[in-house]
Amino acid sequence: MPRPVYNDAAPFYVAFVDRMLADPDSFWHPLLQRYDELLGPDLPGQRVLDLACGEGHLARRLCAFGPGSVLGIDLAPALIQVAAERADDPRLSFRVDDAQTLATVPDASVDVAVSKLALMDVADHRALFQATARVLVPGSRFLFSLLHPCFEAPFHEERAPRFLLDEAGERLAYRIQTYAQEGPWQSGGSGVRGRLGAHHRTLSTLVNDLLAADFTLRGLHELFSAPSGLLAQVPQTLLLDAERRP
């Protein structure tokens, strides 16, 4: 099993999650609402799997829509422990598993798979797609988000900053310098990507590998982080709505 980098950083990441959820202007709120809108009506009675669930807030949220069960899996035992402590519904369960293999999840035992802002943390996205296709009932949904690969492409706070600033220090434009360079990267600085890094893939790699893993694409949603300015013009988040081929 790969080394769970989020395990040692669990207190840091949980504090980050709590700040994002407490901030009414956080871009996480419109993203979470999109999960509600796209999935909510289809969830009653369903067996849901949250891949790379972290401390479990998406899994907890989806319970409001009446699923039969919601299982969250993550590679980091320390995050699974927090998720279990925070579980507030008997239909919720959490356990350590690798989303690249899903060894603890039987074939065709999941009606809906979700994942929030985690695909760029998974070393082998193809393995995740294949494992997810295996555990999903044919014809069922897989809704997952990630930092938008076209705009949140590898950058480094000092060597290759993400934003081009105007004379007043306001963000003028995104600088995309290494979009084609796939693989692990680290942004420098003290944020999540500075501390924990990420794995970059181009949009075509991502979509073509999803299709090759026996999924079709129902929709592709780009979300913006701010109501005005640069971040209202350039999407930071990509949400893919896929279906396991029948």
Name which of 17 and 238 has its Cβ closer to ligand SAM: 17
- If one counts every other C-beta atom within 10 angstroms of the C-beta of residue 136, the result is 27
Q: Is 98 in the site for ligand SAM (CB under 6 A)?
A: yes
What residues contact 62, with CB distance under 8 A and at least 6 apart?
A: 35, 39, 43, 48, 50, 70, 114
Which neighbouring-strand residues pair with 216? 243
Binding to ligand SAM in span 128-157, by CB under 6 A = none
What residues contact 227, with CB distance under 8 A and at least 6 apart?
A: none
Shortest Cβ 166–ligand SAM spacing (Å) = 31
Q: Which two tokens stand for residue 128?
A: 């995740």
Q: Which of 39, 52, 92, 213 binds ligand SAM (CB under 6 A)?
A: 52
Binding to ligand SAM in span 11-40, by CB under 6 A = 17
End-to-end CA distance of the chain: 30
**Angle 38-125-146 from CA coordinates, rounded to 5°:** 40
Q: Which of 62, 78, 110, 122 binds ligand SAM (CB under 6 A)?
A: 122
Contact stretch for ligand SAM (CB under 6 A) within 47-55, 178-186, 205-213, 233-241: 47-55
Q: Is 4 in the site for ligand SAM (CB under 6 A)?
A: yes
The secondary structure of residue 121, as a DSSP letter, is: G
Name which of 25 and 167 has its Cβ closer to ligand SAM: 25
Shortest Cβ 129–ligand SAM spacing (Å) = 12
3-state DSSP of 38-52: HHHHHCCCCEEEEEC
Shortest Cβ 187–ligand SAM spacing (Å) = 13
Q: Which of 6, 129, 155, 174 binds ligand SAM (CB under 6 A)?
A: 6
Q: Is 117 in the site for ligand SAM (CB under 6 A)?
A: yes
The three-class DSSP label of residue 183 is strand
Site string for ligand SAM, 184-223 (x = CB under 6 A): ----------------------------------------
Shortest Cβ 102–ligand SAM spacing (Å) = 9
The three-class DSSP label of residue 196 is helix
Shortest Cβ 165–ligand SAM spacing (Å) = 27
The residue among 236, 219, 237 whose CA lies nearest residue 37 is: 219
Q: What does the alpha-carbon distance between residue 92 and residue 138 come to, in Å, rounded to a whole number?
A: 23
Q: Which two tokens stand for residue 152?
A: 């949140």
Which positions touch ligand SAM (CB under 6 A)? 4, 6, 17, 52-54, 74-76, 79, 98-100, 116-118, 121-122
